[in-house]
Amino acid sequence: NKGKYEHYMQKEIHEQPESLTTTMRGRLIRGGSCKAKSVLLGGLKDHLKTIRRSRRIVFIGCGTSYNAALAARPILEELSGVPVTMEIASDLSDRQGPIYREDTAVFVSQSGETADTLHALEYALENGALCVGITNTVGSAIARTTHCGIHINAGCEIGVASTKAYTSQIVVMAMMALAIGGDTMSKQARREAIIDGLFYLPNKVREVLKLDQDMKDLAKLLIAEQSLLVFGRGYNYATALEGALKVKEVSLMHSEGILAGEMKHGPLALVDESLPIVVIATRDACFSKQQSVIQQLHARKGRLIVMCSQGDAASVCLGGSCRVIEVPQVEDCLQPVVNIVPLQLLAYHLTVLRGYNVDQPRNLAKSVTTQ
Ligand code: F6R
């Protein structure tokens, strides 16, 4: 039931304040006066010691689920102190890459039925790793086959393009990082700031959804373009990849997410006065580096659309020549949850304006059960 919405993708984008709330329900403990703030993940608690002792944590997934894991990787590295590596499921199988008994392998999947991910899971089980599932479907193959896991609880997702599952996946993995890192006193203040950030996150997403009309206006400007680049780095490298994936899969416009640190190593050659480029430059430790990326793109007359934190328009938009998307600022590791929303809206409006089927893009299926 689409309710007041025209499409499932639109409904699912707009229900993210609620889906995020459901994902966190009963899992955040904000303590009393003497009780520390913490998270409780029932499906993981008996395995936390093993995960903390593991030699590395390997995230495995495809498409949007891989991107969600990429967004959560920095906070997991920071809080757990365990090396975290990333694998696209099909690539791990193609290479028969090394997976060891001492590894924790985390399988991320909205449907829980993706053949590539399931195949990589069977491989990791054979190799003796502890296998953790993060899925949105209770009773799915991946939920059943892993040793333990966390349900995303984002509610049923119908649009082929994953939206609310993505933001809930990031939140689940941020909570996982908090749970794994929960025994280090030195990071207690950081953990509490993130827990507070999670608590306020649904309202910040509600706020960023107000950009709907702005994103529709931007989509009108971009409707006839051939291509759109998205530059991000740090926590928002994943936002660049995921924003570009949304645009290409539903609006059928070529789009590429680019790690801004790689700009000079090739992509800079593409920059001219006509190619639209989204640069994600919200406040975090990478902000000054992104400012210098903007300067360099500006010097080459790039057609810039800059996403920045509220109040930062003047410091990112040189000479007032670019379009700005101002978003509310949240704790740095949660910023990808806020930042993807305008790009989801942009992909949605571009698709509708271009006259394509937004809920069922050509050639794609919701659950990819063949390899
Ligand atoms: C993109 C999209 C796909 C899926 C991918 C993995 O919007 O939906 O890229 O993310 O097929 O699917 P799951 O998460 O079900 O394993």
> Given the CA of residue 67, which atom of ligand 1 is nearest to it?
10
Q: Ligand 1, from 8, 12, 65: best to mutate by most atoms within 8 Å of Cβ?
A: 65
In three-state secondary structure terms, 230 is strand
DSSP type of residue 17: H
Contact 274, 304 (CB under 8 A): no
Q: What is the pLDDT of residue 368?
A: 86
Range with lowest mean pLDDT among 44-53, 322-331, 362-371: 362-371
pLDDT at 32 over 80: no
d(CA 159, CA 143): 21
Report the percent of the chain where pLDDT is more than 90.
90
CA of 185 to the centre of ligand 1 (A): 37
d(CA 293, CA 281): 9
Range with lowest mean pLDDT among 34-38, 176-180, 352-356: 34-38
Q: What average pLDDT does the chain have?
A: 96
- Residue 3, judged by CB atoms within 10 A of its CB (0-12, 13-18, 19+), counts as exposed
Task: Please give the average per-residue pLDDT across 66-70, as a whole number.
Answer: 98
> Given the CA of residue 61, which atom of ligand 1 is nearest to it?
16
> Given the CA of residue 368, which atom of ligand 1 is nearest to it?
11
pLDDT at 319 over 80: no
Closest residue by CA, ligand 1 atom 16 = 109
d(CA 56, CA 40): 22
Q: What is the pLDDT of residue 168?
A: 98
DSSP letters, 37-85, are PEE--TTTGGGHHHHHHSSEEEEEE-HHHHHHHHHHHHHHHHHH-S-EE
CA of 252 to the centre of ligand 1 (A): 17
Q: What is the pLDDT of residue 7?
A: 96
319 or 80, which is more confident: 80
> Given the CA of residue 246, which atom of ligand 1 is nearest to it?
7
pLDDT at 128 over 90: yes
d(CA 371, CA 116): 6
Q: What is the pLDDT of residue 298?
A: 93
> Given the CA of residue 135, which atom of ligand 1 is nearest to it?
14
Closest residue by CA, ligand 1 atom 11 = 63
| Reported pTM | 0.97
CA of 154 to the centre of ligand 1 (A): 14
For residue 272, the surrounding DSSP H or E stretch is: none
Asked if this assembly's ipTM is beyond 0.95, the reply is: yes
Q: Ligand 1, from 145, 162, 251: best to mutate by most atoms within 8 Å of Cβ?
A: 162
Task: Please give the average per-residue pLDDT across 106-117, as a whole number.
Answer: 97
Interval 339-363: pLDDT, tens: 999 999 999 999 999 999 888 888 8
Closest residue by CA, ligand 1 atom 7 = 161
Q: Are strands 56-61 and 84-88 parallel, antiparallel or unpaired?
A: parallel
> Which protein residues are within 6 Å of ligand 1, measured from CB?
62-65, 109-111, 114, 117, 161-162, 245, 249, 367-368
Report the percent of the chain where pLDDT is more than 70.
99
pLDDT at 100 over 80: yes
CA of 368 to the centre of ligand 1 (A): 8
CA of 106 to the centre of ligand 1 (A): 16
Q: What is the pLDDT of residue 34?
A: 63
Interval 71-91: pLDDT, tens: 999 999 999 999 999 999 999
pLDDT at 317 over 90: no
Q: Are strands 28-29 and 130-135 parallel, antiparallel or unpaired?
A: unpaired
Q: Identify the CA nearest to 42 among candidates 207, 185, 191, 153.
A: 153
Res. 153 pLDDT band, cuts 50 70 90: very high
Res. 33 pLDDT band, cuts 50 70 90: low
Contact 293, 263 (CB under 8 A): yes
CA 338 to chain centroid, in Å, comes to 10
